Amino acid sequence: MSAPRPLASLAGPKGWPVLGNFPQIDFSRFHLQLEAWAEQYGEIYRLSFGPRNLLVTADLGLAQELLKDRPERFGRQLNLERIFDELGFNGLFSAEDDNWRRQRRIVITALNSAHLHRSYDAMRDTTARLERRWRRAAQTGEVLDIPRELMRYTVDITTQLAFGIDFNTLETDGHIIQDDLDSIFPMLTRRLAAPFPWWRLFHLPSDRVLDRSVSSVQARIGEIIRDCRQRLATHPERRAEPGNFLEAMIVAQESEQLPFSDRDILANVFTLLLAGEDTTANTLAWAIKMFIDHPEAFQAVRAEVDARLGGDSIPPDYASANDFPLLEAFANETMRLKPVAPLNGFGVKADTVLGGIALPAGSGVFLLTRRLATREAHFHEAESFRPQRWLLNHTPVSPHHTRAFVPFGGGPRYCPGRNLALLEIKLVLAMACRNFEFSLAEPGLQVEEEFAFTMGPGNLLVKPALRQ
Ligand code: HEM
């Protein structure tokens, strides 16, 4: 067996002295830059951020090892836990080892299908609010900033389902919690890639904006937690069967079965808000863009929705919401070409060898998940939008490596919000194609991929019209 190759010996873009490749990156286009370098250097290459060397890959074998061997061999990016902790949201997404294990169980239970089933009516009602909002916009000729619209929807759903509180930002004017959440993501991306942690020495104006946003969200979360404790005190019978994630965490804390601190509870409320907002909203926004770009596929999905909904405008119950095979295939294909997580970061916990490359403890890896799903080696006509490839009653043309399609990650840390997200996606898209036509408000304006921890469509301004 040949000796493993040192990470530093791999080909990769030449960086600056001391800072490495950091100054060459525009973080709002981070994924595009890493994908462009993969075009140049291949599916496995090297980067450096300051003194840290990083491996970048879109290799299927390496992807599976990275996703599977967690949390012991690989963790999230090494500095992620500390950066999240400094901001007070070291919850499930960033936690490692035993801290991660005890949080994972409670989050998985809180987002399982039984809970989604029980929460269906609230989700349907929130979808009806979105429909009313878009009907008004269609009647008045208003232009919609689609990702922003959908972020109102996803926050309203997450807060009802996970915390038992209805923010109703869909029907609120003025300042909403999304305004604060908005400034958090771009700063997270910058801090995670920073060659040195400047914010521990001094604060730039952007750090002060971040501090204000975090304090404002924390104050709101503090109120939610106080209300929930109050509710449990007034209705002690709820302790036997907590109705949502927040109640479950508080009950577990009080019963001392699981040693959660107040800080853990706050951090996980924050985590679910962040993890459930942009991801699902941006996926939905990309799907609306695909409705506009692929009118034939849109009409086919609409025919399926019409046939199943009869006289309803929104799927009336949980079973009917889960019965849209073509719509689901459309959503899958959207996530293959426009995944909101086009890359996934990993930290190496102890010296190891991956794909014949020696990775010292403390080095990092970026897995290019979009590239994985758009390589000709993995999918037939990989760059084309073909929802049919995902239909179960359709034999896909080879290659069709479903393991190369990981929009929700994989292995022990796969996304626990997947089923919730898919349900939101089906509800909104069914409602949207049943009731509306969509067109770009400014067709000359290029819709751009913008990376801010998640990847969303910039400039997606849409005019809704009532269906004729
Ligand atoms: C379309 C929507 C969504 C997408 C594409 C998405 C994608 C992802 C991805 C790629 C990961 C990393 C998985 C890994 O490392 O293997 C993740 C983790 C996570 N997601 Fe999602 N997500 C979505 C919606 C949600 C929702 C709605 C919630 C909850 C309300 C949620 C909560 C989480 C949490 C807590 C984690 C961390 C899991 C862990 O580290 O154990 N996500 N998600």
Contact 279 CB / ligand 1 (< 6 Å)? yes
Q: Which residues of 429-439 are buried (b: 16+ CB within 10 A; e: fewer)?
A: bbbbbbbbbbe
Q: Does 28 fall in a domain?
A: yes
Whether the CB of 87 sits within 6 Å of ligand 1: no
| Cβ–ligand 1 contact at 104 (below 6 Å) | yes
The arithmetic mean of pLDDT across residues 413-440, rounded, is 97
Is the distance from CB of 113 to CB of 128 less than 8 angstroms? Answer: no
More confident residue, 253 or 93: 93
176 Cβ partners below 8 Å, 6+ apart? Answer: 152, 155, 167, 169
Structural domain range at position 46: 1-77+342-373
Residue 409 CA to ligand 1 center (angstroms) comes to: 8
- Expressed in angstroms and rounded, the spacing between residue 128 Cα and the centre of ligand 1 is 25
Structure confidence by residue, pLDDT tens digits, 144-165: 999 999 999 999 999 999 999 9
**Taking the CB of residue 139, how many other CB atoms lie within 10 A of it?**
11
Q: Is 71 helix (H, G, I), strand (E, B) or coil?
A: coil
Mean pLDDT of all residues in 250-276? 87
Q: Token pair for residue 388?
A: 């049919």
Q: What ligand 1 atom has the least distance to the C-alpha of 94?
A: 40
- For residue 165, the SS3 value is coil
Q: Is the CB of 147 under 6 A from ligand 1?
A: no
**Tokens coding 410:** 């994989």
Which residue, judged by its Cα, is nearest atom 12 of ligand 1?
A: 409
Q: To test ligand 1's pocket by mutation, which of 105, 115, 365, 408 has the most ligand atoms within 8 angstroms of CB?
A: 408
- Residue 171 has a pLDDT of 96
Ligand 1 centroid to residue 19 C-alpha, Å? 31
Q: Is the dihedral of CA 384, 386, 387, 388 positive or negative?
A: negative
Distance between CA 294 and CA 299 in Å, rounded? Answer: 9
* Nearest in space to 54 (alpha carbons), one of 342, 345, 341, 340: 345
Q: Is residue 92 part of a domain?
A: no
> Could you tell me if the CB of 409 is within 6 A of ligand 1?
yes
Is the CB of 365 within 6 Å of ligand 1? no
Query: Do the beta carbons of residue 360 and residue 7 sit within 8 Å?
Result: yes
Residue 22 lies in a domain: yes
Q: Between β-strands 52-57 and 364-367, what pairing exists: parallel, antiparallel or unpaired? A: parallel
CA distance to 189, 282, 291, per residue, from 294 (Å) = 32, 18, 5
Atom of ligand 1 nearest to the CA of 282: 1
Residue 60 lies in a domain: yes
Q: Does the residue 111 lie in any domain?
A: no
Q: Which of the four pLDDT bands, split at 50, 70 and 90, describes residue 252?
A: confident
Identify the pLDDT of residue 256.
67
| Distance from the alpha carbon of residue 420 to the mean position of ligand 1, in angstroms | 10
Using a cut of 0.75, tell me whether the model's pTM lies above it: yes
Ligand 1 atom nearest the C-alpha of 409 is 16
Q: What is the pLDDT of residue 286?
A: 98
Span 435-466, pLDDT tens digits = 999 999 999 999 999 998 899 999 999 999 99
* Cα–ligand 1 centroid distance for 320 (angstroms): 25
Which of 92-101, 190-199, 380-389, 437-446 has the weakest average pLDDT? 190-199
Residues 368, 374: Cα–Cα separation, whole Å = 10
- Determine the distance separating the centroid of ligand 1 and the alpha carbon of 407, expressed in angstroms: 9
Average pLDDT of every residue of the chain: 94
Q: What is the pLDDT of residue 360?
A: 95
Residue 63 sits in a domain of what CATH number?
A: 3.30.43.20
Residue nearest to atom 2 of ligand 1 (CA): 280
Question: Ligand 1 in contact with 198 (CB < 6 A)?
Answer: no
Span 220-236, average pLDDT: 93
Ligand 1 pocket check for 150: Cβ under 6 Å: no
Q: Which residue, by CA, sits nearest to atom 3 of ligand 1?
A: 279
- C-alpha of residue 419 to centroid of ligand 1, in Å: 10
Domain count, the chain: 1
| pLDDT of amino acid 273 | 93
In a domain, 114, yes or no: no
Residue 363 lies in a domain: yes
CB of 428 sitting under 6 A from ligand 1: no
More confident residue, 259 or 194: 194
pLDDT band at 84 (very low <50, low <70, confident <90, very high): very high
Among the ranges given (158-167, 283-292, 331-340), the one the predictor scored with the smallest mean pLDDT: 158-167
Nearest CA to ligand 1 atom 7: 408
Give the pLDDT score at 460. Answer: 98
What is the spatial order of strands in the sheet that 357-359 belongs to? 5-6, 357-359, 352-354
**What are the respective helix, strand and coil percentages of the chain, to the nearest 5?**
55, 10, 30
**Residue 33 and residue 368 in contact, taking contact as beta carbons nearer than 8 Å:** no
Q: pLDDT exceeding 90 applies to what percent of the chain?
A: 82
Tokens of 178: 């999304």
Beta strand segments in 84-196, E: 144-145
Residue of 80, 264, 272, 415 to mutate, ligand 1, most atoms within 8 A of C-beta = 415
What confidence tens digit (pLDDT) does each residue in 344-392 have?
999 999 999 999 999 999 999 999 999 999 999 999 999 999 999 999 8
Ligand 1 atom with least separation from CA of 283:
1
Confidence of residue 185 (pLDDT cuts 50, 70, 90): confident
Res. 52 pLDDT band, cuts 50 70 90: confident
Q: How many residues does the chain have?
A: 468
Using the predicted structure, report yes or no on whether residue 18 has a pLDDT greater than 90: no
pLDDT band for 333, please (50, 70, 90 cuts). Answer: very high
Tokens coding 177: 């919690």
Q: How far is the CA of 92 from the centre of ligand 1 (A)?
A: 10
Residue 352 lies in a domain: yes
DSSP 243-310: SSHHHHHHHHHHHTSS---HHHHHHHHHHHHHHHHHHHHHHHHHHHHHHHH-HHHHHHHHHHHHHHHT
- Mutating to test ligand 1, I would choose from 96, 279, 328 the residue with most ligand atoms within 8 A of its C-beta, which is 279
**Residue 1 pLDDT:** 65
Q: What distance in Å separates the CA atoms of residue 152 and residue 178, rounded to the nearest whole number?
A: 7
Burial class (CB in 10 A: 0-12, 13-18, 19+), 287: buried
Q: How far is the CA of 413 from the centre of ligand 1 (A)?
A: 9
Contact partners, residue 18, CB within 8 Å, separation at least 6: 50, 195
> In whole angstroms, what separates CA 295 from the centre of its chain?
26
Question: Is residue 283 within 6 Å of ligand 1 at its C-beta?
Answer: yes
- Give the number of other Cβ atoms within 10 Å of residue 222's Cβ: 13
